[in-house]
Structure 1
Amino acid sequence: MSTPPDPLTHERTHLADSRSALRAMREDAEALDIRDVTANWVNAAVLRNQIDERIKSLADLAHTPLFFGRLDYLHAPGADQAEGADGERFYIGRRHVHDAGGDPMVIDWRAPVSQPFYRASKKDPMDIRLRRRFGYTGGDLTAYEDERLSDPTETARTSALLQREIERPRVGPMRDIVATIQPEQDEIVRSGLGGTVCVQGGPGTGKTAVGLHRVAYLLYAHRDRLARTGTLVIGPNRSFLHYIEQVLPALGELEVQQATVEDLVARVEVRGRDEASAALVKGDARMAEVLRRAIRSHVTPPTEPVVVVRGSRRWRVPAYELEEIVRELQARDMRYGAAREALPRRIAHAVLVQMERAGEAPDDRVQDAVARNSAVKTAVKAVWPPVDPAKLVLRLLTDDAFLAAHADGLLSDEEQKAILWTGKVPRGVKTARWSMADAVLIDEASDLVARTQSLGHVVLDEAQDLSPMQYRAVGRRCTTGSATVLGDLAQGTTPWATRSWDEALRHLGKDDAVVEELTAGFRVPREVIAYASRLLPSIAPGLAEVESVREAPGALAVHEVGSAGELDAAVVDACREALGREGSTGLIAADARVPALAEALTAAGFTYLSPGEETTQETRLTLVPATLAKGLEYDYVVLDEPAAVVDGEPDLRTGLRRLYVALTRAVSGLTVLHTTALPPELA
């Protein structure tokens, strides 16, 4: 009688068989012959592209575990039971894999049958007899850990493999958390497509990962719909997007677009920069009404009739009737461009009514011809002229009388003065030194002229830094879809930073959104987050402090250096010490300090990266200006001169928020070095 293989050998065999099955699935896709199954070359190209995407999605990534867990169900499915079968076993992974007979070997983590892997507990086992987690080293399955959820004699305990995965060193871009999603995170990830969700989460609570995994889940559950309407992830800057760009492809989703708000509104070249006072006014939601008034002011009530000549007949639409048509179109509050397109057809309809009264029988072709008549075109141009959004905004910013006429009762004289351009007036749109806030105004004006296309779902990360007008720009991209809004009020570092999520969601056009709060921290060590949280009463009163689940004794070190001349050397020494450990190191400093530190690192022989560049085993040090630190994470952080970080901002509160961000980028350890006294709020 042969001895049954030990569990680890059995699981390794299943892993090898699953990889073989995935390879066979890919080979089947590559072997598809579509030469005789499409009607024309266009259909063939579309189908070929779909097959190519399918082949890409079936790639077997050597260092990405094909499955990370296993569920053994207790019972066969019933009306009120989980989707399992008696004795049935499911391996949970990043994608679905089946054998030659179509039987599943790995179940996609997003499938309903996988849900208990994230939510089952001793208190609510969800019909699970055993949950097994797997540990990997360099892509090889090396360990497993069992939880017998339905066994009353076994006590609940913290998973060592789960903790190890959470604490794994951060080298390279952001990775998925599909093996470590927690129950409260899973609820957000699997919430429906129809509703907008806003996630308030402190540092290390996984809000960014939750948002990305929610996109992956929605694409799984509503693929056909979202394939038609599209999905978009919006981040604060290019460095951040580069950092997160590998998460969705690792989950098998290759088609999700990524952009910054700047990308969304890139209708003009941004070459200028606003003073904070001007940016505050331009970013205020009141500017939307100023723009609406300015655009509608172009409509001029008609004073002359329209006379249409057709053959030997002349048809006259009197001025009072034209005025009634214009008034009716204005009352409908249509987009300016849509109403302008409707006006000639409405005039043509008035002519057709006269024709019918005269005994003629005009059809649609006659109406189209009348609408294109030169007299009608001339009248439309005089009454409802075309509007160029950029030229409109340029006039508002350079013509004080025009601005005053449309900002009356909305903006004070001081606010109008703050946004008016001084000095030489630019000759035109192309020569103007547009700011980012100006580009957002142009985007708003463009939407007032012609409706912006809506996507099926938008993820907005680091949302707390958006102005009301930027929220409106994002909201236009999901008017008929939904959104996932991610942010932390304590990390708002712009002069117009979000004060409350209710207000932000109103500007986004999603008043009915559900606000969820994540307070369990999985990234930042307890000692570090407690130190940073000393700032919360000053930067976000009333906001709950993150409760870290990570114990890392000795994770925090704060050292005062004797003199400014010694600080650079101390920073270099701290980086050297951090690089002696496993994982990535980030040196974060006030932007003004970066050139000096770059010179010190180079003189000491260190090679370093810029934010967003991918760390490798050979180059694990990144020099990070404090203004670009948001959303990034490193195993070890060396923070240079906290007071300089605070002083680099226009006001104390913003400076303390910037410092809070910098303090909370560390995953394993934080070293703070300073010569100037620490801010009193932190000391």
Structure 2
Amino acid sequence: MSTSVHDDPRSDSPSDSPSDSPSGPLSRERAHLAASRAALRAMREDVQSLDISDVTANWVNAAVLEKQIEDRVKALADLSDTPLFFGRLDFLHAPGAERAEGAEGERFYVGRRHVHDADGDPMVIDWRAPVSQAFYQATRKDPKDVALRRRFGYTGGDITAYEDERLSDPAEEATTSRLLQREIERPRVGPMRDIVATIQPEQDEIVRAGLAGSVCVQGGPGTGKTAVGLHRVAYLLYAHRERLARTGTLVIGPNRSFLHYIEQVLPALGELAVRQATVDDLVAHVEVRGTDDATAAVVKGDARMAQVLRRALYAHVTMPAEPVVVVRGSRRWRVAAYEVEELVRELLDRDIRYGAAREALPQRIAHAVLVRMERAGEAPDDRVQDAVARSAAVKACVKAVWPAVDPARLVLRLLSEPEFLAGHAAGLLTEEEQKAVLWAKPARSVRTARWSAADAVLVDEAADLIERTPSLGHVVLDEAQDLSPMQYRAVGRRCTTGSVTVLGDLAQGTTPWATRGWPEALAHLGKEGAVIEELTAGFRVPTDVIAYASRLLPHIAPGLTPVRSIRENPGFFEIRAAGDPVTACAELLRREGSVGLICADARLPGLARELTEAGIGHLAPGAETTREVRLTLVPASLAKGLEYDYVVLDEPGAVVAGEPDERTGLRRLYVCLTRAVSGLIVTHGEPLPVQLS
């Protein structure tokens, strides 16, 4: 599978062949690109010209249809600096046709979206279409009927190079795609971009996994796990659009900076309706104004707290001591206390939500009254049953036996009242653990309480015990290794009837409750049957950098497979003792691409002042870099998930010392060391951690 790159001499890429003639392949491909862009404009104009004035029954339907048309117009936008197609497939035979000798094959251009001409014939095939799978999966050993695979190189949205792989020729030798390497190693300025042109076979298999099954992806730095998760969402929306339009999709990230960094990937693929949130956003039932120490946060995040909450909630249910007497006209209908108790116990045994059982109880009591009416010769109907269920006697019974409970007030009592907590945590939490979760200053009300992020998750758990949380069709959970068991449960109840894609790296867990193993995490999610995949090929981090960072793996994640960098460009890596991080940043800013200065959180203000004094403009994490301002000052606590062409890492020892314990600090350091795409400079005045020796 030999390849050769054919470049336009006007491009910045090194040329491997003579310049293309006006009638040559490169010119013909440019002509097809121009025609495809014109066809896409025509598709957009057709949608914009739709007249819906006479096709809707009312203003509600008209508003819905107008919104659908607006979204379709946005999805058909042509981004001038984004390649409309990035590959071409020439098949030996027509797909689905009998492979007879001499049968004429078909040609398909593979791109980010489908484009057709005025006659409806495809000019560009969506990368998610079944026929496009061969672009990612075909090899010389298994060509999948592909005679030729052509990749295109772009500069500013224009085709400047192409590369051919003749998969059906047994005389061809397998080599690495140079255009693929160029695309992987291209400088990165601005937010994260899609990887549709560079998806690898093992990534493509995860992306195209079915909607019914859940997938867990363990991937080290630079293996593309985040991109795989986002492209999986795009694929599922393509393959199951109607179903997911009803049930919804959600991408969960670790923080707002991360979500801002990835927010343009799906829109670039034509998908505009995917919600993005953090776990804190999902559980925002109360205002978070407080913080927990590590000990309290670990206990509150433990799955045992779910059982404590269940006990505390159902302790509100009491058995009746008096009968229910319903007056209807001149008749009095009596339901004995023991009969009401039987109804209550039946509902408890069914293990349905607390609120649903509370709503069912008055109907059960009313039904018992109707049975007595029928035995007395009356003929009551459903209206009578509803009236009995709403009667004062039945309401009073339900209020006493199965009272309404507010989830926030329930958690407030548990965290404020030692006796209440002890009564429901017995046998689950030790006395020390109970003391750890109790507030130092008990709150008087939900509004004045200083809720922590872990408390908000407990309130969410209690709310779900009372009323079922609506389930989405698919959820992508990124940087999952940092979630507590209770946070996993919060995510899991939002996809009880749907599926989930879990993305993470056990070596990058930097919370005191970090995930120890994926089977345990999947159990908390309620997705024990999920398939666990591992990505070990590194596309982002240079070889020397990932090799240096991997020295920490035996100390932070024994047994985990180190990432193997497949980049041809080795980049560069330097360690500067007594080096100045500001000077290093100034040097890197002379190169093309983005620069990140990563430091321990405590050192951030000082470095910000030094950069300002040196006249070097800089941004905060999540802010979009520009050609004028390409330096981002990043606290170590927010570095996870981000990437820069060049990174200056300031004082690794301070990064480790800034965490509660050494293992967490080393994991944080591992994250910081692996944010660079092209080069890393480590500056330090204090000794480096001995684990890097």
Q: What band does the TM-score fall into relative to the shorter chain?
A: over 0.9
The residue number in structure 2 matching 1:325 is 343
Distance (whole Å) between structure 2 residues aligned to residue 419 and residue 529 of structure 1: 40
Q: Indicate the SS of the match to 1:541.
A: coil
Task: Give a deviation string over 1:126-178, Cα, whole Å, max 9, x none.
Answer: 00000000000011111100000001111111111110000111100000000
Contact 1:527-1:552 within 8 A present in 2 as well: no
Q: 1:78 Cα shift?
A: 3.6
Whichever residue aligns with residue 549 of structure 1, its letter is: I
Task: Give a deviation string over 1:340-389, Cα, whole Å, max 9, x none.
Answer: 00000000000000000000111100000000001100100000000000
The residue number in structure 1 matching 2:687 is 677
Q: 1:527 Cα shift?
A: 0.5
The residue number in structure 2 matching 1:574 is 584
Q: 1:441 Cα shift?
A: 0.2
Q: 1:502 Cα shift?
A: 0.3
Task: Give a deviation string over 1:493-524, Cα, whole Å, max 9, x none.
Answer: 00000000000000000000000000000000
Task: Give a deviation string over 1:547-579, Cα, whole Å, max 9, x none.
Answer: 000144461100110xxxxx5xx1111001110
Contact 1:641-1:675 within 8 A present in 2 as well: yes
Distance (whole Å) between structure 2 residues aligned to residue 200 and residue 78 of structure 1: 36
Work out whether 1:197 is the aligned partner of 2:215. yes
Work out whether 1:654 is the aligned partner of 2:664. yes
| Structure 1 length-normalised TM | 0.97
Task: Give a deviation string over 1:327-349, Cα, whole Å, max 9, x none.
Answer: 10000011000000000000000
The residue number in structure 2 matching 1:339 is 357
The residue number in structure 1 matching 2:9 is none
Work out whether 1:49 is the aligned partner of 2:67. yes
The residue number in structure 1 matching 2:674 is 664
Distance (whole Å) between structure 2 residues aligned to residue 243 and residue 157 of structure 1: 34
Match of 1:62 among 72, 77, 80: 80
Distance (whole Å) between structure 1 residues aligned to residue 352 and residue 156 of structure 2: 59
Q: Indicate the SS of the match to 1:227.
A: helix
Work out whether 1:541 is the aligned partner of 2:558. yes
Q: Indicate the SS of the match to 1:598.
A: helix
The residue number in structure 2 matching 1:148 is 166
Match of 2:140 among 109, 115, 122: 122
Work out whether 1:418 is the aligned partner of 2:436. yes
The residue number in structure 1 matching 2:297 is 279
Structure 1 residues 90 and 449: CA distance shift in structure 2, 3 A: same
- 1:386-535 to 2 correspondence within 5 Å? 386-423=404-441, 425-535=442-552
- 1:1-12 to 2 correspondence within 5 Å? 5-12=23-30
Q: 1:81 Cα shift?
A: 7.6
Distance (whole Å) between structure 1 residues aligned to residue 61 and residue 569 of structure 2: 57
Distance (whole Å) between structure 2 residues aligned to residue 76 and residue 605 of structure 1: 62
Match of 1:621 among 631, 636, 656: 631
The residue number in structure 2 matching 1:564 is none
Contact 2:597-2:647 within 8 A present in 1 as well: yes
Give the stretch that moved more between structures: 615-624 or 551-560: 551-560
Distance (whole Å) between structure 1 residues aligned to residue 104 and residue 447 of structure 2: 70
Contact 1:571-1:638 within 8 A present in 2 as well: yes
Contact 2:229-2:476 within 8 A present in 1 as well: yes
Distance (whole Å) between structure 1 residues aligned to residue 113 and residue 276 of structure 2: 22
The residue number in structure 2 matching 1:37 is 55
Contact 2:571-2:678 within 8 A present in 1 as well: no
Structure 1 residues 379 and 81: CA distance shift in structure 2, 3 A: farther
Contact 1:266-1:439 within 8 A present in 2 as well: yes
Whichever residue aligns with residue 645 of structure 1, its letter is: V
Gap regions ≥5 residues in structure 1: 562-566
Whichever residue aligns with residue 463 of structure 1, its letter is: A
Give the stretch that moved more between structures: 15-24 or 550-559: 550-559
The residue number in structure 1 matching 2:597 is 587
Distance (whole Å) between structure 1 residues aligned to residue 490 and residue 307 of structure 2: 14
Distance (whole Å) between structure 1 residues aligned to residue 50 and residue 206 of structure 2: 38
Whichever residue aligns with residue 592 of structure 2, its letter is: E
Distance (whole Å) between structure 2 residues aligned to residue 416 and residue 400 of structure 1: 8
Structure 1 residues 101 and 547: CA distance shift in structure 2, 3 A: same
Q: Indicate the SS of the match to 1:107.
A: strand
Q: Indicate the SS of the match to 1:434.
A: coil
Q: 1:73 Cα shift?
A: 0.4
Contact 1:132-1:147 within 8 A present in 2 as well: yes
Distance (whole Å) between structure 2 residues aligned to residue 194 and residue 206 of structure 1: 23
Task: Give a deviation string over 1:52-83, Cα, whole Å, max 9, x none.
Answer: 1000000000000000000000013347989x
Distance (whole Å) between structure 1 residues aligned to residue 643 and residue 188 of structure 2: 8
Whichever residue aligns with residue 479 of structure 1, its letter is: T
The residue number in structure 1 matching 2:330 is 312
Q: 1:225 Cα shift?
A: 0.2
Task: Give a deviation string over 1:195-218, Cα, whole Å, max 9, x none.
Answer: 000000000000000000000000
Contact 1:559-1:672 within 8 A present in 2 as well: yes
The residue number in structure 1 matching 2:17 is none
- 1:367-382 to 2 correspondence within 5 Å? 367-382=385-400
Q: Indicate the SS of the match to 1:86.
A: coil
Whichever residue aligns with residue 512 of structure 2, its letter is: P
The residue number in structure 1 matching 2:653 is 643
Distance (whole Å) between structure 2 residues aligned to residue 81 and residue 29 of structure 1: 39
Task: Give a deviation string over 1:473-502, Cα, whole Å, max 9, x none.
Answer: 000100000000000000000000000000
Distance (whole Å) between structure 2 residues aligned to residue 120 and residue 50 of structure 1: 37
- 1:155-234 to 2 correspondence within 5 Å? 155-234=173-252
Whichever residue aligns with residue 446 of structure 1, its letter is: A
Contact 1:291-1:445 within 8 A present in 2 as well: yes
Question: Where does structure 1 differ by over 6 angstroms across 4 or more consecutive aligned residues?
Answer: 79-82
Distance (whole Å) between structure 1 residues aligned to residue 587 and residue 435 of structure 2: 53
Contact 2:185-2:569 within 8 A present in 1 as well: no
The residue number in structure 2 matching 1:263 is 281
Q: Indicate the SS of the match to 2:71.
A: helix
Alignment identity in percent? 78
Contact 2:181-2:568 within 8 A present in 1 as well: no
Contact 1:633-1:666 within 8 A present in 2 as well: yes
Q: Indicate the SS of the match to 1:232.
A: strand
Distance (whole Å) between structure 1 residues aligned to residue 529 and residue 319 of structure 2: 39
Q: Indicate the SS of the match to 1:20.
A: helix
Pairs aligned (count): 672
Gap regions ≥5 residues in structure 2: 1-20
Contact 1:22-1:58 within 8 A present in 2 as well: yes
The residue number in structure 1 matching 2:255 is 237
Contact 1:81-1:127 within 8 A present in 2 as well: no
Contact 2:411-2:458 within 8 A present in 1 as well: yes
Distance (whole Å) between structure 2 residues aligned to residue 532 and residue 412 of structure 1: 39
Q: 1:5 Cα shift?
A: 1.8
Distance (whole Å) between structure 2 residues aligned to residue 76 and residue 659 of structure 1: 53
| Structure 2 length-normalised TM | 0.96
The residue number in structure 2 matching 1:93 is 111
Contact 2:656-2:665 within 8 A present in 1 as well: yes
Contact 2:319-2:401 within 8 A present in 1 as well: yes
Report the aligned-residue RMSD: 1.3
Q: 1:4 Cα shift?
A: 8.7
Whichever residue aligns with residue 220 of structure 2, its letter is: G
Structure 1 residues 554 and 378: CA distance shift in structure 2, 3 A: closer
Contact 1:523-1:550 within 8 A present in 2 as well: yes
